[in-house]
Amino acid sequence: MRTEGEASGPPLEPGDFVQLPVPIIQQLYHWDCGLACSRMVLRYLGQLDDSEFESALQELRLTRSIWTIDLAYLMRHFGVRHRFCTQTLGVDKGYKNQSFYRKHFDTEETRVNQLFAQAKACKVLVEKRTVSVQDIQAHLAQGHVAIVLVNSGVLHCDLCSSPVKYCCFAPSGHRCFCRSPDYQGHFIVLRGYNRATSCIFYNNPAYADRMCSTSISNFEEARTSYGTDEDILFVYLDS
């Protein structure tokens, strides 16, 4: 599938190059990257209504601590076909000592574990499984998209300024944690790939004006870092 652009060079086989027209929506705060990604996905599906979205946040009681399971429930609320794949069905107690999780861990552990426990009854599809790059590419090649949890301290965009002039993963005015050695969770939206150059295209909600790209090896390192549980929320176009 080719959508927004044609690759230069020799002709590519169908599925070798995918770049989906996923709109870019910037996050408003340092904590709402997952919500911004959800807005992008819903707009891509033609289902985003701002007032309905705000109502959904209130109904689902989504606050400043957003987990991937919250985003899965948000997709279910809008009737969007989805599949949430993770390595941990619940909260990994080992994260309690991670600086990124420490502040909200005690209050969030019970809430998040309950969401996992109730997922099947609420028709939220959750699977404990490993997802390969080939699985992701096959998904994107069908016009579908995905929200992925990554370690922003590891993810590097090849299209953005280098060296980094400002933080890639927080809106202007917030502390830049790009160079932090600790885990820093951040959600991005996958929108395509190029097999010839072995890269992944994605929207980073910290930006309002660009698509980002990174090597598959860097993407894999960022999405499999300790702290991510390898969380990926597959979203389907035919919702």
Please give the backbone phi and psi of residue 220, each rounded to the nearest 5 degrees, phi first: -65, -40
CATH number of the domain at 15-233, please? 3.90.70.10
Q: CB under 8 Å to 215, separation ≥6 — which residues?
A: 158, 198, 199, 200
pLDDT at 104 over 90: no
What is the tens place of the pLDDT at every residue in 37-60? Answer: 999 999 999 998 999 999 999 999
Report d(CA 76, CA 239) in Å as an integer.
10
Q: CA 154 from chain center: how many Å?
A: 15
pLDDT at 236 over 70: yes
- Give me the pLDDT at residue 238, please: 84
**What is the pTM assigned to this prediction?**
0.85
Report d(CA 29, CA 221) in Å as an integer.
26
| Whole-angstrom Cα Rg for the chain | 17
Strands (DSSP E) contained in 60-172 are 82-86, 126-128, 145-151
- Give me the pLDDT at residue 150, please: 96
Q: CA 15 from chain center: how many Å?
A: 22
228 token code pair: 């991510």
What is the tens place of the pLDDT at every residue in 156-197? Answer: 999 986 544 334 444 444 444 444 557 889 999 999 999 999
CB 162 within 8 A of CB 113: no
- Average confidence score pLDDT of the chain: 85
Number of C-beta neighbours around residue 97 at 10 A:
9
What is the tens place of the pLDDT at every residue in 110-142? Answer: 899 999 999 999 999 999 999 999 999 999 999
For the chain, domain boundaries? 15-233
Among 123, 98, 116, smallest CA distance to 239 is for: 123
